[in-house]
Amino acid sequence: MTRPLLAVLALLLLSCGGPPPVAVTTSSPGFDDYEPVDWPGRAPDDHAVHGIDLSRYQGQVDWPRVRAAGVSFAFIKATEGGDRLDPAFRDHWDGAAEAGVARGAYHFFYWCGPPEEQAEWFIRHVPRDRGALPPVLDLEYTPFSPTCTRRLPPAEVRARARAFIDTVADHYGQRPVIYTTPEFWEENGIARLGEEVWLRSTARHVSEAYPGHPWTFWQYSGTGIVPGIAGPVDLNAFNGSAGTWLAWLAARGG
């Protein structure tokens, strides 16, 4: 799909009441990596649409430079457990929007607190902005947490995740995306939740780490180099063409 046609599609989305125009990169982004992987088969660079995820650890971000480097979307850490807010969330949230980078917020789940309480904490701090990406529920083990290192039975893991997802979906009007890791995915049967997924796999191709399962986003690096961000940042690819990305935004727009 050509760049002029993509621009027309973006304007149509706006005129039809969809999300405002956002950055779309259709060629290899201007990223590098501190620890590059020699990917077999289809490499991340073969995907048309790329993004980042970040938190307070990335510090101040020059969002116009980030967009110019080829970042089409950003998932931004908002909350953790039932009482922790990332102090950089609001700056990242507003900065991404002003630069035209599609952005969504994610919640890091703790296994020692009620899921409904965590959902309400997320809702309290994340705006229900028009055009925002779906909320994200980050499901993984927390072995280094100073307060919560529990490992629950898989059925209980899924039940707690479902309770969070349902509460958040009711508020934002769209189902959250699940982010997880290969170990957590396999041991807890996360596929059984039937939700759209964002999958981490930084050493193996995502199709090898999660064989046979469809995915929307692939986190392929935790050591990315992106102009406008000091230090390493996570890199992600969207599973589809630039045209598919615009269609997904239109269908998923809050």
- β 177-180/136-139 pair status: parallel
Backbone φ, ψ for residue 185 (5° rounding): -55, -50
> Cα–Cα–Cα angle for 97, 85, 50, nearest 5°?
40
47 contacts 238 by C-beta, under 8 angstroms: yes
Render pLDDT for 86-143 as a digit per residue (tens, 0 to 9): 999 999 999 999 999 999 999 999 999 999 999 999 999 999 999 999 999 999 999 9
**Neighbour count for residue 147 (Cβ, 10 Å):** 9
Per-residue pLDDT in tens (0 to 9) along the chain, 254 residues: 333 334 334 433 433 443 444 555 545 588 999 999 998 777 898 899 999 999 999 999 999 999 999 999 999 999 999 999 999 999 999 999 999 999 999 999 999 999 999 999 999 999 999 999 999 999 999 998 888 898 999 999 999 999 999 999 999 999 999 999 999 999 999 999 999 999 999 999 999 999 999 999 999 999 999 999 999 999 999 999 999 999 999 998 75
Residue 217 CA to residue 51 CA, distance in Å, equals: 9
Question: What six digits make up the tokens of 74?
Answer: 């950003």
Taking the C-alpha atoms of 135, 248, 57 and 181 in order, what is their torsion angle to the nearest 10 degrees?
Answer: 80
Residue-level pLDDT at 6: 42
The structure tokens listed for 26 are 């259709």
HEC readout, the chain: CCHHHHHHHHHHHHHCCCCCCCCCCCCCCCCEECCCCCCCCCCHHHCCCEEEEECHHHCCCCHHHHHHCCEEEEEEEEEECCCEECCCHHHHHHHHHHHCCEEEEEEECCCCCCHHHHHHHHHHHCCCCCCCCCCEEEECCCCCCCCCCCCCCHHHHHHHHHHHHHHHHHHHCCCCEEEECHHHHHHHCHHHHCCCEEEECCCCCHHHHCCCCCCCEEEEEEEEECCCCCCCEEEEEECCCHHHHHHHHHHHCC
Q: What is the pLDDT of residue 200?
A: 98
Contact assessment for residue 106 and residue 136, using Cβ atoms and an 8 Å cutoff = yes
Instruction: List, for residues 190-204, the tens digit of each pLDDT value.
Output: 999 999 999 999 999
Catalogue the active-site residues: 53, 140
